[in-house]
Structure 1
Amino acid sequence: MPTPSRTYQKASGIYYIRLLVPKKLIPYTRHQKIIYSLKTKDRSVAYILALKINLAFEEWLKSMAIGDNNRFPALKVEHEGTSYDFNLDSPAEKAAYDDLVDRIGMKVSKPIVVPPKLYSLDDGFKSWKDATYKVYSEATRNGYYPRVSKFIDYARSKKVTEVEAVNLDFAKSYRGYISTKEASPLTVDNHTKSIKLFFDHLIEIEEYKFKNPFAKLNLIKSKAQKLSVTDSYVPFRPYEISRLFEVEAYFKRFKKPDLFYSPLIALTMGLRLEEVAQLRVTDIYDSGGTWVIDINEYGDDKELKTESSKRILPIPRFILKTNFLDYHAYVMKTYGEDSHLYPYLIKTKNGYGKNVGYNFTAHKQELIQVDQKLKTFHSLRKTLSAKMDAAKYPSLLRKSILGHHITFDVTDEIYGSEEEGAKSKEHLSLSYMLTHLNQIEHDVDFGEFHFDFESDNFMYELVRSMKRKEAKKAYNADQKAASQQQ
C-alpha cells in the first residue's frame, strides 16, 4: 500500500497529515500549513482517512477560486444581527476586517467541505440483521449475531468504528484474540465464518470496497483436520453406561418424562439432543406394524441441524420394553394430536433440550469421572455410532440412522458389506434398520425403566406450571411494548 498522501509518521507511530495553504488563501486561515493528527498507527486506516481529508481540502481550494482571474468571493461576517461584507483584495477593507476580528475575537468560518460520514460497523450490523432476520432460523441467528456483536465490541475497544478501517491485519489480530479465549479451533473458525458472512453483506451493499478480510482465516484447513475436531466427543465406556443407567440413581435424578426418556432414546436410536426434545406426539406412530420416530421439521417451533437429519427410524426392542409407548398414548389422549410429546416444555433461545442437557450433565458428574468437554449427552449418540462401527455395519446404514450426509462411495458400499445393496438411504427398509438396531447390546435392563406419569395429577401440574410461565412472559412482553409506546 502506498504512503498516504501528505502524511508522515512520528516516532510514536501516530500518523499526521500536513496541508500547505496557498499564499492567497492564508488570510482565510491565518495559517501557512494545517497539521492534524489522524490518531492511528495503522497504515491502512491512515491511508483511508488521508484520502477523505485530502478530498475535502482540494474541494475547498476549488471553491475559493472564481473564474479565471482567481479573485476571491466576498467575505461575509454576521455579528449581533449586523452583516459585514469585506473584499480582502482591498487593503482598506482587509484592515477593517482584521480590526473587527481583533475587537470581537471572532474567526471567519472556513468554507471547508465536511468529509462525508464513513459507514460504521454498527450501521452495517443493523443492515445485515435486517437483511437476514427472516432468512436465518432462530438457532442460526443465535449463533451468528452474538459473534459479530463481539467482534464489533473488540473493534470499538481498538478505536475502530468504521467499516473500511478493518483490513486483513486487523482481522488476523481478532482471530488471534479469539484463539486465546476459545480452546477449540472449530469454535474460532465458527467466529470468523460468521464475521465473513457479515462482510459479504457489506461488500454486496457496496459499503466495503476491498476483498473480504475474513475470507481465508480458517484455522482448520483440511477435511481430515475438521473431522478430527468435530469428532472430538467420545463414546462412553461399558462401565460408564452401567453407572449412568443404574436404575436407582436414574430414577432419583430424572423426575420428568423429557429427562427420563431422552437419554434412553439417544443411546439406542442415536437421536441428537434437540431432535428428541422437540418431538410432537404425531412424530411417533405405527408404520405397517413397526413403531417409528419421525425426525422432521414440520411445525414452526422445530429445527433440524442439516437436511440429512430428516429420517424415519424404527423404535428398537429396548425402548419397547419401557413404558414409552404408554406415555405417548397418554399424552395423545389427554392433550390431543397437536400436542408436544412433552407438553409442559417451553422453548428457549437454545431450543427445547436445555434442561435435558443440564440434568444429564449433573447426573454424569455425580456418577463417573470423565473429561467434561469430551463426554456429554452427545456421547450417547457417539456410543451407538461406535457400536455400529465395531459391528462393521455398512456406512450407508450408519449414516442413515445417525442422520449424516451421505456421499455414495463404490468401494465403501460394495466391499464394506455383502448385505449392503442399497445406494441411497431411501432404499433402507424399516425392517432392515430395526434388525440391526435390535442386534446391538447395551447391557442395560430396559424393562426396569417405567416412569410413573399418571400419579397425583403429575402431568396436569407440569402443564399448568408451563401455562402460568407463558402467561407471565406474555404479560411482561405487553407491558414492555406499552412502555415503549409512551
Structure 2
Amino acid sequence: MSQHRETTAVAQAKPVIGLNEALSAFIISKQKSAIRPLSIKQLEQRTRHFIDTVSSKSALKTKLKTDDKCVHDITSADAMTYRDALLTQGRSYKSNKEYLAAIFQFFKWCQLMNYCNHNPFESVTVGQKPKAKPNQARDRWTHIELKRLLRSSSFKASTTDFKWVTRLMLYGGLRLSEACQLKPADIKLIDGIHCISVDDSGAVQRLKNLNAKRYVPIHKYLLEQGFIAFVEQRKSTHTQLFDYKPVGIIEDWSKTYCKQLAKLQTEIGMQANKRPTAYGLRHTFIDEMKQLDISEHIVAQIVGHANPNITFSRYGKDVNVAALLKDIERIEYQI
C-alpha cells in the first residue's frame, strides 16, 4: 500500500518550470505548427503581457525575482486579478478578448505538458460586450471625405499602385492586404466577366480565413479607368500586380500603403486621430451596400465574410458572378 502511494505521488509530480521558460517552449512548439508569424507574435506578446503583469505584482508582495514565478503557482485568483487589470487599460472589447484567449491557449498547452494541474483561465471571461453597434466600430469615409481625397493633387500625384489599391477597396470591398498581394494571374475572365480571384495560391499570399477565398466581379468604373490594360501591362513584366511587399517577420502587406495614406491625409489637412483609416475604405463599400439594402448573404459572398445562413460547399462552385456584378455596380459614390 505504501509503495502504491509512493508510485502515485511520483506519477503526479509536476515539472517545476518558470513562466518565461514555458513561454519560450510554447512559442517554439507553435512555430512547428505552420502557424502564421503574425499569429505567433501576437500569442507571444499577449502572454508576455500577462507574465510581466503577474510577476511584477508578485515581486512587490514577496520581493522575489520575476523569473521565480512558476507555471504551477498561477491560480484562478491571479487570472481574475489580471482580467480586472486588463479591463482598465483602454483596449477594445475585442482586444481584451483576444488577450485572454491567447493566455488561455498558453495554459492549455502547459496543462498538456504536465506543467500545471489545471488551466487558471478556464472560466475567465472578458465580461459583457459593449452595446455599441458593430457599424460604429470602424469609421467609414463620407462622400465629402472621399471627394477631398480622390480629387486632391496629392492623390493624383501618388503612385499608380496606390491609386488602384484605393479603388479596389472602394469598388470591390477587398481587404487592404488582399489588394496589395494580388498577382496579374488573379484577374480572370469568368463567364465573360472580369473578376478578381482572391486566394492564397501564391507563395507569399495569405488569407484572413477560409471565407476570404472568393471571386469578386470588377466594377465597370475600374474597367473604364483602364484596370485591365494595367493588368496586361504588368503581366508581361511582373509576378505581382503591385510593387507592395510584405513587411517584417509578420509579413504585413498593408503597412506601406497605410503609411502612404497617412502622409497624404496629412498633406490635405486631415488631422491624425480625427480621420478615417485605410481599413475604413472597405468598410465604406460594405456600408454603401447596406444602405442600398443589398441582401446580407450577397454582401458576405462579395467581401469574404462568414455567412451564418448559407453553407457554401467548394470554392468557385456555382458562383453567379453576373448576379454579383449587378449588385456591385449599384455602388456609385457622389465624388
**TM-score surpassing 0.5?**
yes
Between 1:176-185 and 1:243-252, the stretch displaced more is: 176-185
In structure 2, C-alpha distance between the alignment counterparts of 1:140 and 1:327, rounded to whole Å: 34
Q: Which residue of 2 aligns with 1:440?
A: 331
Contact 1:189 1:217 survives alignment (8 Å): no
State the secondary structure of the residue aligned to 1:180: coil
Equivalent of 1:170 in 59, 78, 81? 78
Q: TM-score, structure 2 length as denominator?
A: 0.83
Residue type of the alignment partner of 1:173: T
In structure 1, C-alpha distance between the alignment counterparts of 2:173 and 2:99, rounded to whole Å: 28
Q: Which residue of 2 aligns with 1:191?
A: 99
State the secondary structure of the residue aligned to 2:242: coil
Contact 1:265 1:276 survives alignment (8 Å): yes
1:289 aligns with 2:192: yes
In structure 1, C-alpha distance between the alignment counterparts of 2:109 and 2:128, rounded to whole Å: 24
In structure 2, C-alpha distance between the alignment counterparts of 1:189 and 1:208, rounded to whole Å: 23
Gap change, CA 1:360 and 1:344, over 3 Å in 2 = closer
Q: Which runs of 5+ in 1 are unaligned?
A: 1-58, 60-114, 410-423, 445-486
Q: Which residue of 2 aligns with 1:85?
A: none
Gap change, CA 1:286 and 1:251, over 3 Å in 2 = same
| 1:428-464 deviation line (CA, Å, top 9, x unaligned) | 51111111111211124xxxxxxxxxxxxxxxxxxxx
1:258 aligns with 2:156: no
Deviation at 1:216, TM superposition (A): 3.3
1:402 aligns with 2:303: yes
Contact 1:310 1:403 survives alignment (8 Å): yes
- Give 1:264-283 correspondences, 5 Å limit: 264-283=167-186
Q: Which residue of 2 aligns with 1:245?
A: 150
In structure 1, C-alpha distance between the alignment counterparts of 2:226 and 2:265, rounded to whole Å: 24
Equivalent of 2:53 in 151, 154, 160? 154
In structure 2, C-alpha distance between the alignment counterparts of 1:427 and 1:231, rounded to whole Å: 34
In structure 1, C-alpha distance between the alignment counterparts of 2:211 and 2:107, rounded to whole Å: 29
Equivalent of 1:340 in 240, 246, 249? 240
Contact 2:140 2:281 survives alignment (8 Å): yes
State the secondary structure of the residue aligned to 1:342: coil
1:138 aligns with 2:37: yes
Deviation at 1:313, TM superposition (A): 0.6
In structure 1, C-alpha distance between the alignment counterparts of 2:267 and 2:131, rounded to whole Å: 32
| 1:145-191 deviation line (CA, Å, top 9, x unaligned) | 21112222223323352001211221222223333333312111111
Q: Which runs of 5+ in 2 are unaligned?
A: 1-5, 7-12, 60-65
In structure 1, C-alpha distance between the alignment counterparts of 2:321 and 2:14, rounded to whole Å: 66
- Give 1:428-467 correspondences, 5 Å limit: 428-444=319-335
Q: Which residue of 1 aligns with 2:122?
A: 215
In structure 2, C-alpha distance between the alignment counterparts of 1:156 and 1:236, rounded to whole Å: 44
Aligned residues: 310
Gap change, CA 1:304 and 1:346, over 3 Å in 2 = closer
Contact 1:400 1:425 survives alignment (8 Å): no
Residue type of the alignment partner of 1:133: Q
Runs of 4+, deviation exceeding 4 Å: 368-371, 424-428
- Give 1:48-447 correspondences, 5 Å limit: 118-135=16-33, 136-158=35-57, 159=59, 161-210=69-118, 212-221=119-128, 225=130, 228=133, 232-252=137-157, 254-255=158-159, 257-335=160-238, 339-343=239-243, 345-348=245-248, 349-367=250-268, 369=270, 372=273, 375-408=276-309, 426-444=317-335
The two structures, once aligned, show a CA RMSD in angstroms of: 2.8
Q: Which residue of 1 aligns with 2:63?
A: none
| 1:373-406 deviation line (CA, Å, top 9, x unaligned) | 8831111111111111111111111111111101
State the secondary structure of the residue aligned to 2:82: helix
In structure 1, C-alpha distance between the alignment counterparts of 2:135 and 2:82, rounded to whole Å: 23
State the secondary structure of the residue aligned to 2:87: helix
Deviation at 1:221, TM superposition (A): 4.0
Residue type of the alignment partner of 1:180: T
Q: TM-score, structure 1 length as denominator?
A: 0.59
In structure 2, C-alpha distance between the alignment counterparts of 1:120 and 1:396, rounded to whole Å: 49
| 1:243-282 deviation line (CA, Å, top 9, x unaligned) | 1111523123x23x33221111101100111111111121
In structure 2, C-alpha distance between the alignment counterparts of 1:313 and 1:214, rounded to whole Å: 41
Kindly name which structure, 1 or 2, has the bigger radius of gyration based on alpha carbons: 1
In structure 2, C-alpha distance between the alignment counterparts of 1:264 and 1:342, rounded to whole Å: 13
Deviation at 1:325, TM superposition (A): 2.1
Gap change, CA 1:134 and 1:305, over 3 Å in 2 = same
Residue type of the alignment partner of 1:341: L
Gap change, CA 1:117 and 1:392, over 3 Å in 2 = closer
